[in-house]
Amino acid sequence: MTQILTKTSVATRITATAKDDKYEYNVDYQVAEGNTVTSLVVSVKSGNDYIGTLSLNGENKNLSVPETADVVMINTTFDAIIAEVKSTLTV
């Protein structure tokens, strides 16, 4: 069979979890060749209740959570998740 696909990049997908005093975070991110994060998405839960989604695209953060959520705590934990992900990358 003739190949029609040309591989343009290879990425590694990582899933992880984190917790703070109120919420659980399901983290899903991809690291491409050259050790760059190509996507980072975090689902936030409180017990069995879905709270919202956090994402990082380049340097742009997006938090999609209700106003009733503890946005300061969620943002602080998200910053810590981003810092930890970036600290695992090698230059």
pTM over 0.85: yes
Confidence at residue 89, expressed as pLDDT on a 0 to 100 scale: 84
Every domain of the chain and the residues it spans: 12-87
Long-range interactions of 38-42: CB distance < 8 A, separation 24+: 38/11, 40/81, 40/82, 40/85, 42/78, 42/81
Q: Which pLDDT score is estimated for 8?
A: 85
Kindly report, residue by residue over 66-89, the tens digit of the pLDDT: 999 999 999 999 999 999 999 988
Half-sphere exposure of 62 (CA within 13 A, CB side): 12
Mean pLDDT rounded to a whole number for the chain: 93
pLDDT of res. 91:
58
